[in-house]
Structure 1
Amino acid sequence: RETIRLYPSLNINNRNFKRTRHFKYLGSILSERNEIEIEIGTRIQSGNKCLYGLAKLLGSRSLSRKLKLQLYITLIRPVITYGAEAWPLRKSDERKLLVLERKILRKIFGPVKDMLSGEWRIRKNDELETLFHKPSILETIKNKRLLWAGHAWRSQNPLIRMVLEENPNGKRPLERPRRRWEDGVRDDVKALGGGEDWRLQASNRENWRQGCMSG
Structure 2
Amino acid sequence: MAEKFNMMISAEKTESMVISKEPIRCKLAVHDKPIRQTLHCKYLGVEISSHMNVYQEVRAQANKASRISGCLRDMIWRNEHMTAESKVRIYKTVVRPILTYAAETRAETATTKSLLRSTEMRILRTIEGVTLRDQIRSSVIRDELKVQDVVRFVRSRRRNWRDHVDRMGTDRLAKWAKNERPNTRRPPGRPPKRWHVSWTSTSQEAG
TM bucket normalised to smaller: 0.7 to 0.9
Would you say the 8 A contact 1:152–1:161 is kept in 2? yes
Alpha-carbon distance in structure 2 between the residues aligned to 1:34 and 1:28: 12
Which residue pairs with 1:75 in the alignment? 94
Would you say the 8 A contact 1:110–1:122 is kept in 2? no
Amino acid at match of 2:160: L
Amino acid at match of 2:55: E
Would you say the 8 A contact 2:142–2:148 is kept in 1? no
Aligned to 1:181, what secondary structure does the other structure show?
coil
Would you say the 8 A contact 1:81–1:141 is kept in 2? yes
Q: CA deviation at 1:161?
A: 2.1
Alpha-carbon distance in structure 1 between the residues aligned to 2:83 and 2:21: 52
Would you say the 8 A contact 2:55–2:111 is kept in 1? no
Which residue pairs with 1:142 in the alignment? 155
Mapped pair 1:125 → 2:125: no
- Higher relative helix content: 1
Deviates more, 1:92-101 or 1:127-136: 127-136
Which residue pairs with 2:81 in the alignment? 62
Question: Residues 70-91 of structure 1, C-alpha deviation per residue, up to 9 Å, x if partnerless?
Answer: 1111000011111111120001
Alpha-carbon distance in structure 2 between the residues aligned to 1:184 and 1:12: 41
Would you say the 8 A contact 2:107–2:196 is kept in 1? yes
Unaligned 5+ runs, structure 1: 113-119, 192-215
Alpha-carbon distance in structure 1 between the residues aligned to 2:105 and 2:149: 18
Aligned to 1:30, what secondary structure does the other structure show?
strand
Which residue pairs with 2:182 in the alignment? 168
Q: For residues 2 and 83 of structure 1, do their structure 2 counterparts lie closer, same or farther at Cα, with a shift above 3 Å needed? A: closer
Alpha-carbon distance in structure 2 between the residues aligned to 1:18 and 1:65: 50
Alpha-carbon distance in structure 2 between the residues aligned to 1:153 and 1:11: 39
Q: For residues 17 and 104 of structure 1, do their structure 2 counterparts lie closer, same or farther at Cα, with a shift above 3 Å needed? A: same
Mapped pair 1:36 → 2:58: no
Amino acid at match of 2:81: S
Alpha-carbon distance in structure 2 between the residues aligned to 1:2 and 1:130: 41
Which residue pairs with 1:3 in the alignment? 22
State TM-score, norm by structure 1. 0.76
Q: CA deviation at 1:108?
A: 0.2
State TM-score, norm by structure 2. 0.79
Aligned to 2:42, what secondary structure does the other structure show?
strand
Mapped pair 1:100 → 2:100: no
Q: For residues 26 and 16 of structure 1, do their structure 2 counterparts lie closer, same or farther at Cα, with a shift above 3 Å needed? A: farther
Alpha-carbon distance in structure 1 between the residues aligned to 2:78 and 2:135: 14
Q: CA deviation at 1:190?
A: 8.6
Amino acid at match of 1:39: E
How many residue pairs get matched? 184
